Amino acid sequence: MDKKLLDEYLVKLKRGDNEAFDEIYHLTKRGVFSLTLSIVKNPYAAEDIMQDTYLKIKEKILYYKDGTNGYAWILTIARNLSLNYLNKNKKVDVLDTSEHEYLMASTDKNFVKDDMPIFKIAKQHLNDFELQVVVLYAVYGYKHREIAELLHKPLGSVLWTYNNSIKKLQKILKKEGKDEA
């Protein structure tokens, strides 16, 4: 993860170079997705939020200050949009079931794709904060300190939560016989 490179691309985008967007996307897509997924816990919704995040980046690119932490800025946008989504869906608990299947899937908090067993277990047994820490660390390769800053939590809490979450997952996987190693 090259922060300087991302900063350069963000500056280019700010100056009107639309091609820089591709690079920005490729550099940040994992982080954005894993963060949104860890919050909304629904891959379809995460995909929508991801798209909204990049649209928002284009819209608000002039707010980006050159030479600052571009990752943090993008992830903050993603996180805020995810939280907005959650808030919005709290208010729409009842939906017409005859709607499109995708819509149902995207709004179902418990929906998880079949090819994501570990994530499914993690989602079932870890709380929101634990899941966010694990996903950000595992997928995006964030350091504990960076996770603490991003989630506005003390570093100690993040470390403790991470260790605790992994132990919890180990135990569950062992119990469920999915421990192949």
**C-alpha of 128 from chain center:** 12
Alpha-carbon dihedral sign for residues 21, 26, 31, 33: positive
CB 84 within 8 A of CB 40: no
Site membership for other proteins, residue 160 (CB under 8 A):
no
CB 32 within 8 A of CB 50: yes
Candidates 39, 135, 147, 151: give the one binding other proteins (CB under 8 A).
135
CB atoms within 10 A of CB 50: 21
CB 70 within 8 A of CB 3: yes
What track of x and - describes contact with other proteins for positions 85 through 124 (by CB under 8 A)?
Answer: ----------------------------x-xxxxx--x--
**Cα gap 122→143, rounded to integer Å:** 20
Site membership for other proteins, residue 180 (CB under 8 A):
yes
Candidates 3, 58, 143, 145: give the one binding other proteins (CB under 8 A).
58
Which of the ranges 56-64, 83-91, 94-102, 147-155 carries the binding residues for other proteins, by CB under 8 A?
56-64
Candidates 138, 149, 153, 155: give the one binding other proteins (CB under 8 A).
138
**Cα gap 71→146, rounded to integer Å:** 10
CB of 94 to other proteins, least distance (A): 28
CB of 168 to other proteins, least distance (A): 10
The smaller minimum CB distance to other proteins, of residues 62 and 92, is found at 62
Site membership for other proteins, residue 137 (CB under 8 A):
yes
Runs of H (alpha helix) within the chain: 3-14, 20-40, 43-59, 70-91, 101-107, 117-125, 128-138, 144-151, 155-175
Site membership for other proteins, residue 173 (CB under 8 A):
yes
Which residue ranges make up the site for other proteins (CB under 8 A)? 18, 21-22, 25-26, 29-30, 33-34, 37, 43, 46-47, 50-51, 54-55, 58-63, 113, 115-119, 122, 134-135, 137-139, 166, 169-170, 173-174, 178-181
